[in-house]
């Protein structure tokens, strides 16, 4: 067990290094840096001045060295400009060239300064990640039970009417992209002029003008049923269909297994056959899929957070990309890589506990 985890961790670190390097390389391409120079310096800078700025701000030289500096594996750059002031990667407003540390990178906890938020990347990322964490938690709480229930119900009697109805629903929901279902949900439930809300309001069933709020901006400070339902539903709907299909496939297979016949011919009632004998075996396959949903959610929230203006991780990613905020983009990618790898590790370990036959090697 320990050996396995250690090996996996080693592999994870290697993967993380490779992935972050690719992102670093792509965000630090020459055109990006020129754009950065013009936004940070002045729009009217000459070509030479741009070159000068790039070198002066430590973006010159080999990409490997710069990656090392960013990672904190190599000493940060120190340069003296034409005015004689010493500037460097690790020299900030709070310290002097003498007191500045030699290394300052991701490993030292210095993730750079976000040009968009005007504060350190780590601070802004932390708070956005927390916001997205709440969203993901809510989605998981809705999505996993609902999809497993649908999958098991449709899989336990293959070809029955229940199966066909639920399968139609899950195929439809997973075939609808989030930007479509989000818009439909908003139109249907969160508009004071169309959909259900005006009807309900005229009947006096709801107090405000709309059933749910079409924007989740206020949920950053206070999550309520009113402002949080729509973004959660939009993400969950897609995932529900997907996981339900997986669960159904796995359940139908288990229901034809011989040990299910054994249980049936032992006189076990149908309900008990499903709950006691089939369920655990049927959940083995969807478990991996559910764990795969975490990284997917982290990226899937991009659309929904933008759509509902919920200032979380996805929204931040969009802003960072749109505003050429290299440090912020890099920070986001580090977080994403980390989440993907950790959930995969958890999924593999969890698999062993769910399935007594499995041996990992």
Looking at the Cβ atoms of 5 and 17, the one nearer to other proteins is: 5
Q: How far is the CB of 12 from other proteins (least distance, A)?
A: 15
Looking at the Cβ atoms of 209 and 266, the one nearer to other proteins is: 266
Q: How far is the CB of 254 from other proteins (least distance, A)?
A: 10
Looking at the Cβ atoms of 35 and 264, the one nearer to other proteins is: 264
CB 75 within 8 A of CB 102: yes
Q: How far is the CB of 266 from other proteins (least distance, A)?
A: 4
Looking at the Cβ atoms of 8 and 311, the one nearer to other proteins is: 8
| Residue 86 DSSP symbol | E
Q: How far is the CB of 274 from other proteins (least distance, A)?
A: 13
Q: How far is the CB of 342 from other proteins (least distance, A)?
A: 17
CB 302 within 8 A of CB 317: yes
Q: How many CB atoms are located within 10 Å of the residue 168 CB?
A: 11
What is the contact surface with other proteins in residues (CB under 8 A)? 1-5, 7, 257-259, 261-269, 272, 276-277, 280-281, 352, 354-357, 359-361
* Structure tokens that stand for 3 in this block: 């050996």
Find the DSSP H helices in the chain: 2-27, 30-40, 47-56, 63-71, 121-156, 161-175, 178-189, 196-203, 225-255, 258-265, 270-272, 279-307, 313-322, 326-354
Looking at the Cβ atoms of 3 and 93, the one nearer to other proteins is: 3
Q: How far is the CB of 357 from other proteins (least distance, A)?
A: 5
Looking at the Cβ atoms of 237 and 255, the one nearer to other proteins is: 255
Work out whether strand 119-120 and strand 113-114 pair parallel, antiparallel, or are unpaired: antiparallel
* Structure tokens that stand for 24 in this block: 């670093």
CB 241 within 8 A of CB 169: yes
Burial of 10 (0-12, 13-18, 19+ CB in 10 A): exposed
């Amino acid at each position: 067990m320990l050996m396995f985890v250690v090996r996996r961790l080693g592999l994870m670190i290697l993967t993380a290094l490779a992935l972050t390097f690719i992102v670093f390389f792509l965000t630090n391409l020459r055109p990006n840096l020129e754009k950065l120079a013009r936004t940070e310096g002045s729009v009217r800078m000459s070509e030479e001045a741009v070159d000068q700025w790039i070198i002066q701000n430590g973006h010159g030289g080999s990409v490997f060295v710069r990656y090392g500096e960013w990672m904190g594996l190599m000493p940060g750059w120190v340069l003296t400009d034409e005015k004689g002031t010493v500037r460097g990667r690790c020299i900030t407003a709070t310290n002097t060239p003498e007191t500045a540390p030699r290394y300052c990178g991701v490993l030292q906890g210095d993730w750079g300064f976000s040009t968009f938020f005007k504060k350190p990347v780590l601070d802004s990322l932390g708070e956005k990640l927390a916001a997205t964490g709440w969203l993901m938690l809510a989605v998981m709480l809705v999505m996993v039970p609902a999809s497993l229930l649908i999958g098991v119900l449709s899989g336990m009697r293959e070809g029955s009417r229940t199966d066909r109805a639920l399968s139609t629903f899950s195929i439809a929901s997973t075939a609808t992209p989030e930007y479509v279902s989000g818009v439909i949900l908003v139109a249907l439930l969160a508009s004071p002029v169309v959909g259900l809300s005006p009807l309900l309001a005229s009947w006096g069933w709801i107090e405000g003008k709309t059933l749910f709020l079409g924007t989740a901006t206020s949920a950053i400070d206070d999550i309520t049923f009113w402002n949080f339902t729509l973004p959660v539903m939009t993400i969950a709907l897609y995932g529900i269909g997907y996981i339900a299909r997986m669960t159904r496939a796995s359940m139908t297979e288990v229901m034809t297994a011989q040990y299910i016949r054994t249980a049936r011919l032992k006189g076990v009632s149908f309900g008990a056959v499903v709950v006691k004998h089939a369920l655990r075996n049927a959940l083995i396959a969807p478990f991996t899929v559910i764990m795969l949903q975490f990284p997917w959610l982290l990226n899937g929230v991009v659309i929904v957070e933008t759509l509902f203006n919920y200032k979380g991780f996805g929204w931040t990613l969009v802003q960072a990309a749109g505003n050429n905020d290299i440090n912020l983009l890099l920070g986001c990618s580090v977080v994403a890589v980390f989440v993907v790898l950790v959930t995969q590790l958890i999924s593999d370990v969890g698999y062993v506990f769910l399935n007594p036959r499995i041996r990992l090697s």
